[in-house]
A and B are shown apart, each in its own frame.
With several copies, the nearest count.
Chain A
């Protein structure tokens, strides 16, 4: 019942890793969950096709912030293609908890920011969702 609020989740919520701005990031994207109001901007530095550094900034619930925080650690040294392939399940595995249907959107905001950022970076058509 209380599995969604495991110790590790709360730790990442209260002490988010890689929190802040990354000035010289090539990838920069803000994504929000309009139903909940969670909003995060992700910054990725890319070197030779690998993510060399990552940070994020923003606010939201424990689920969304923990997933942003964990993703900010996970993405380092991954290729952009690796990241583009990530799915909800991969995020849930990172989080290590079960997330109720109502909250999957919270778990996904950060990943969406990363993936849309990459898409834009790679010159993909801007889908208009960046403000």
Chain B
């Protein structure tokens, strides 16, 4: 186990903002100095475009860049060839749309997904309706977990694709992805796991999950903005043409034809975001050093503590599972205080939370609400912060006269 207070010292932002209680980690996380230093050092010591350069700093830059891929692919237990760099989870999903789904899903084929998806794992697939593809949404149980019975009934031989988040960014629900992948495969469908909220917070092993695709974002796990990962099984990547096209991904180009180069570069046209990718490698080093089991336990601890305290506040409603497998994301509504007013009030007390629909409008509609206030935790959060948070909620009840 580890000490949130000590970890906090690694994060310069808490030096500039001494009293900041940052509970918006599902949106983006803060960065430790190890990552910021790596970024700075890269730019100050060996910045050069990667690949093809023969001079010293270009070789160094390329080595650092490919080392980051090694680190991150190890982190999710994929092969190096199976990890494609993208801008983030959203772009990764779009690459699957344009490299595979758009050309392979046909009229009357079905996609199965859930009502708890983030817009980024929902809006892309709507494009396929153009080609006559049908989308089916699986609903929830009363406690905010996924209705697995309904999922089993929804997946059929017509299903060509199942796409599910591993952890809801609103409810904190953790879905049984191994089971879902199995159901998909038993019906001949491919399966994508949106791991934007899981890879940062728990051990994720793509081989164990056995999914066909998995996506995540660096900025939600101590890394810089502008980097994400697309994992896909090698045999799938080998068969596909890349969606994004350009330089650096080719063996040879003639006027009317292009021969792609080897994996993973085949899917990475143009100059990659190499400096940030190198820094992302250091973010993963930082997490590895903490140990993902410990990260998960730390958050489980905080979440349990917070849920207990929150349940003692009258007129406070929590959306999402109260116990069982869930992550450190808590959505709530306090009496008739509008989520934005709640967030403003918390901000006045130096507590940063998010309010609104959390890019999950269909889920909001399903829950019959317009939004929630959401607190989400990470490694540098502490029980003392939760105490202050609970106190402030009590204060809000007075100010808002509920």
Contact = CB atoms under 8 A, between A and B. Distances in A.
> CB–CB under 8 A between A and B in the complex?
yes
A37 B341 CA distance: 13
Contacts of A4: 341, 344-345, 348
A102 B54 contact: yes
Given A14-B336, A61-B338, A102-B56, 15 more contacts: A1-B348, A4-B344, A4-B348, A10-B400, A34-B251, A34-B262, A35-B51, A35-B52, A35-B356, A36-B52, A37-B370, A59-B370, A62-B337, A62-B338, A103-B344
A2 interface: yes
A101 B400 contact: no
Interface string B53-86: 1111011000100000000000000000000000
Nearest to B342: A61
B95 to A, nearest CB: 22
Contact of B251 (A7, A13, A32, A62): A32
Nearest to A131: B259
Interface size on A, as a range, is 20 to 34
A106 B343 CA distance: 13
Contacts of A59: 370
Nearest to A128: B238
B401 interface: yes
B50 to A, nearest CB: 10
B118 interface: no
Contact of B341 (A5, A101, A131): A5
B258 interface: no
A102 B53 contact: yes
Given A37-B357, A100-B344, A102-B53, A60 B338 contact: yes
Interface of B: 51-56, 58-59, 63, 251, 259, 261-262, 336-341, 344-345, 347-349, 356-357, 370-371, 399-401
Contact of B401 (A10, A34, A35, A60): A10
Contacts of B371: 37
Interface string A14-45: 10000000000000000010111110000000
A5 B59 contact: no
A63 interface: yes
A61 B347 CA distance: 15
B340 A61 contact: yes
A5 B399 CA distance: 7
Contacts of A60: 338, 340
B55 A102 contact: yes
Interface in A45-70: 59-63
B54 A103 contact: yes
* Most chain B beta-carbon contacts within 10 A, residue among A10, A32, A35, A38: A35
Contacts of B262: 34
- A-B pairs with the 5 shortest C-beta distances? A61-B338, A61-B340, A102-B59, A102-B54, A62-B341
B364 to A, nearest CB: 9
Given A32-B251, A101-B59, A103-B340, A5 B345 contact: yes
